[in-house]
Amino acid sequence: MLSVRRPIAPRRDPAPSRIRYRLTRLWLRPAFRRFVNFGVPMLAGVLASWTLATELDLRARTVQAVSDLRDAIVDRPQFLITEIAVPDVSADLAEQIREASFVRPPVNSLEVSVVAVRDRVEALAAVERARVRALPDGVLEIRAIERIPVVVWRGEGGVLLLDHNGVRVAEVDSRLRRPDLPLVVGAGADAHIPEALAILDAAGPIASRIRGLVRQGERRWDVVLDRDQAVLLPEAEPLAAMKRVIAIEMAEELFDRDLSIVDMRDPARPMLRLSEHAQAELIRLRDLMKGEDA
């Protein structure tokens, strides 16, 4: 049997609406299509960049926002430095270091440059090396190695304290401030402090009589003793010469005698200069002996 199939349910109206029809026709226009595909994005890009360029405020606002954010982080109490610790140095040096570090607590640890602080502290004469670090509990620790003065140098620039390398530690108004330190005199002496120290060390048995070392002509040392006695050391190997002098002193009690200068400048031919009185006495005694002989 033949049958008539029921027609399917009526479909939606396939007709495009007027707007849609017009838009479709507009879209089929090649110029319009090109405009939408290329012109509009390009235009938008140009417009956006132009707006950015003209809106000068934008940059300032961005910077402001960034700094606000930074402040919000920086202002946290964890980053605050409340105290500067300078351990293991003398009190006045610690005070000096605090002054020189230019850090006034409370201050923010992010704003403190430890390298700069270290450089400033190391620029102090009395500090040989320094280590600066911010500890987590708000303490800025400046660990400094103090220069220890070993000699007093009286030079053209006044009376200075020098350490064992000849580096200036401090200036003092008088040599009497540090009577415990040996005195070094003469221009260019600071460059040869280790030598001077070695000579002083070698001259240990007569240490109590040594008044100081004098640099002669930036060349060689004189060891000046009390009672106007002096030892003139050579330019080369002054230590050996000094040891030799000490050996003679130990054997012959050289400096107890009445002489003014022990001249060791020529190691092959050491010379002694007698004092005026000794010379006269020597001549008298020689004459006496001649007379007895005669």
Partner 1 sequence: MRRPLYEVQRAMRARREAALKRGVIAVLDIGTSKVSCLVLQFVPEDADDTTTGRPTLTQGAFRVIGAANTRSRGVAFGEIAAMDECERALRTAIQSAQKMASLRVDHVIVSFAGGRPRSYGVTGETEVLNGSVAERDIGHVLAACDIPDYGQDREALHALPVNFCLDNRSGLTDPRGQIGKILEVDMHLLTIAGAPLRNVFHCIRRCDLELAGVVVSPYASGLSSLVEDEQELGAACIDIGGGVTGVSVFVRRQMIYADTVRMGGVHITSDICQGLQVSMQDAERLKTMHGGLVATGLDDREMIELPSILGERDHDRRQISRSELIGVMRPRVEEILEEARARLDASGFEYLPSQRIVLTGGSAQIPGLELVAGHILGRQCRVGKPIRVQGLPQSATGSAFSTAVGLALHVSHPQDECWDFEMPADRHGARRVSRAMRWFRENW
| Binding stretches for partner 1 (CB under 8 A) | 1-7, 13-16, 18, 21-22, 24-25, 28-29
Output the DSSP codes for 85-130.
E-TTS-HHHHHHHHHHHT--SSEEGGG--HHHHHHHHHTSTTEEEE
Closer residue to partner 1 (CB): 14 or 291: 14
Closer residue to partner 1 (CB): 6 or 290: 6
CB of 29 to partner 1, least distance (A): 6
Rg (CA), the chain: 46
Closer residue to partner 1 (CB): 21 or 38: 21
CB of 15 to partner 1, least distance (A): 4
CB of 32 to partner 1, least distance (A): 9
Closer residue to partner 1 (CB): 13 or 180: 13
Q: How far apart are CA 189 and CA 102, in angstroms?
A: 34
Closer residue to partner 1 (CB): 13 or 156: 13
CB of 34 to partner 1, least distance (A): 14
Closer residue to partner 1 (CB): 12 or 104: 12
SS3 for 288? helix
SS3 for 152? strand
Q: How far apart are CA 23 and CA 280, in angstroms?
A: 137
Contacts of 216 (CB under 8 A, 6+ apart): 186, 222, 232
Q: How far apart are CA 286 and CA 214, in angstroms?
A: 35
User: For residue 292, how many other CB atoms are within 10 A of its CB?
Assistant: 7
CB of 19 to partner 1, least distance (A): 11
Residue 205 vs residues 13, 85, 242: alpha-carbon distances, Å: 127, 43, 11
CB of 10 to partner 1, least distance (A): 9
Closest-CA residue to 212 (of 236, 189, 245)? 189
Closer residue to partner 1 (CB): 3 or 208: 3
CB of 1 to partner 1, least distance (A): 5
* Cα end-to-end distance, the chain, whole Å: 186
Q: How far apart are CA 191 and CA 177, in angstroms?
A: 23
